[in-house]
């Protein structure tokens, strides 16, 4: 069994390197090779002696994901479709933005939740990803976007909003976040990361107790239990009242000026009326939450039975929230043409924007 290096913290890597009978500084070189220089082979780690590189080749692998295809949207968004060693799909999206680029990573292959508006749900849960499989997604996207090992021009934000429910894979996710924050490695601090959950209440409460943590987003999609039960069946386990009281506890743990976010997918004629907007604002205000709301026009995909709300509808909804003191923003869809937008990740190939696997 070969050791998967992208999966190891600095301390674990030191232990592994020690077990090979090598001094500690070799571990620092290897950690930098994997995470700062973002190299994909020991052969390229020319600061290591040839014999050590040969030994590493037999005992370890740097990465395990294979890039199967890469799709590039007309808006510049890139979608990567990987396969794990056991042939499970993993998708990652790179979103170029004016101020700072964003990488959207997956926490699971497929997803066990059955949100009716999300295409990933149709895969079911294939399996949880390891910390290393999460870290690797970021390494490949950074190398593709900027060049191998090239420093990110303006830093990068990460969002855990790809396939899967991050809070059903909590420990590997938090481990990946610890690995990525190392100054000697990727150096992406938790403050640059937002993790989105469909509402796994115990994990929201747990996150509230962790000090060095990512930002939180909660997918709401409906302002009452009746509708939310239908759109997001996880609501039957943790209904809105329980969810929002966990949110309240989380909010109490935030620093001044920090906010968490609600995401609200806008489904034409389903959850987008003025009355829904009033209910949503009342709900947030009744729980004395200061969260902001991101309105996400639905990204349609066959065979999902929904259409996006019209621009005017979204605007009217937003204005009602604002008039009741709830800050709301409309998210611009990105990468829809290559099935890279929110809720469109289902390991599909698209004729649009396809290119060879190796950039």
CB of 48 to ligand SAH, least distance (A): 39
Question: Active-site residue 104, yes or no?
Answer: no
The torsion angle over the Cα atoms of residues 189, 192, 196 and 201, rounded to 10 degrees, is 50
In this complex, which beta carbon is closest to ligand SAH, that of residue 48 or of residue 222?
A: 222
In this complex, which beta carbon is closest to ligand SAH, that of residue 61 or of residue 347?
A: 347
Question: Active-site residue 242, yes or no?
Answer: no
CB of 5 to ligand SAH, least distance (A): 27
The residue nearest ligand SAH at its CB is 343
* Pairing mode, strands 193-197 and 215-219: parallel
In this complex, which beta carbon is closest to ligand SAH, that of residue 161 or of residue 174?
A: 161
In this complex, which beta carbon is closest to ligand SAH, that of residue 69 or of residue 114?
A: 114
CB of 160 to ligand SAH, least distance (A): 7
CB of 346 to ligand SAH, least distance (A): 10
Question: Inter-axis angle of helices 201-208 and 240-252, to 10 degrees?
Answer: 10
Q: Which of these is catalytic: 7, 22, 91, 111?
A: 91
In this complex, which beta carbon is closest to ligand SAH, that of residue 185 or of residue 297?
A: 297
Q: Which residues here bind ligand SAH, judged by CB under 6 A?
A: 113, 117-118, 161, 165, 196-198, 219, 221, 263, 265, 296, 298-299, 342-343
C-alpha to C-alpha distance for 224 and 241, rounded to whole angstroms: 9
CB of 69 to ligand SAH, least distance (A): 21
Q: Which of these is catalytic: 104, 115, 118, 342?
A: 342
Among the listed residues 70, 124, 73, 114, the one whose alpha carbon sits nearest the alpha carbon of residue 92: 70
CB of 126 to ligand SAH, least distance (A): 14
C-alpha to C-alpha distance for 220 and 289, rounded to whole angstroms: 14
The torsion angle over the Cα atoms of residues 338, 343, 349 and 351, rounded to 10 degrees, is -30
Q: CB under 8 Å to 299, separation ≥6 — which residues?
A: 308, 333, 336, 341, 342, 343, 344
- Residues involved in catalysis: 91, 342
């Amino acid at each position: 069994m070969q050791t998967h290096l992208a999966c190891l913290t600095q301390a674990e890597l030191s232990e592994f390197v020690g077990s090979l009978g090598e001094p500690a500084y070799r571990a620092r070189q290897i950690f930098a090779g994997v995470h700062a220089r973002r190299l994909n082979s020991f052969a390229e780690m020319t600061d290591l002696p040839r014999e050590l590189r040969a030994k590493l080749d037999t005992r370890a692998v740097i990465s395990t994901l294979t890039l199967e295809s890469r799709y590039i949207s007309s808006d510049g968004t890139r979608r990567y479709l990987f396969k794990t060693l056991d042939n499970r799909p993993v998708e990652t999206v790179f979103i170029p933005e004016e101020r700072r680029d964003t990488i959207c990573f997956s926490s699971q292959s497929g997803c066990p939740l059955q949100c009716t508006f999300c295409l990933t749900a149709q895969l079911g849960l294939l399996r949880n990803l390891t910390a290393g499989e999460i870290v690797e997604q970021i390494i490949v996207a950074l190398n593709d976007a900027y060049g191998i090992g090239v420093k990110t021009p303006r830093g990068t934000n990460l969002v855990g909003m790809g396939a899967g429910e991050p809070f059903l894979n909590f420990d590997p996710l938090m481990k990946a976040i610890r690995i990525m924050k190392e100054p000697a490695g990727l150096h992406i601090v938790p403050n640059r990361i937002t993790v989105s959950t469909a509402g796994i209440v115990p994990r929201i409460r747990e996150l509230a107790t962790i000090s060095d943590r990512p930002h939180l987003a909660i997918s709401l999609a409906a302002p009452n239990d009746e509708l939310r039960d239908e759109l997001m069946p996880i609501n039957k386990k943790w209904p809105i009242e329980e969810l929002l009281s966990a949110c309240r506890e989380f909010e109490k743990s935030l620093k001044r000026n920090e906010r968490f976010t609600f995401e609200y997918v806008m489904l034409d004629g389903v959850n987008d009326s003025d009355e829904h907007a009033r209910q949503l604002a009342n709900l947030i205000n009744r729980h004395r939450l200061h969260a902001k709301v991101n309105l996400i026009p639905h990204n349609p995909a066959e065979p999902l039975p929904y259409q996006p709300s019209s621009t005017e509808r979204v605007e009217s909804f937003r204005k009602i929230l604002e008039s009741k003191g709830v800050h709301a923003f409309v998210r611009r869809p990105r990468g829809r043409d290559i099935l890279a937008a929110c809720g469109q990740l289902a390991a599909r190939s698209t004729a649009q924007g396809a290119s060879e696997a190796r950039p």
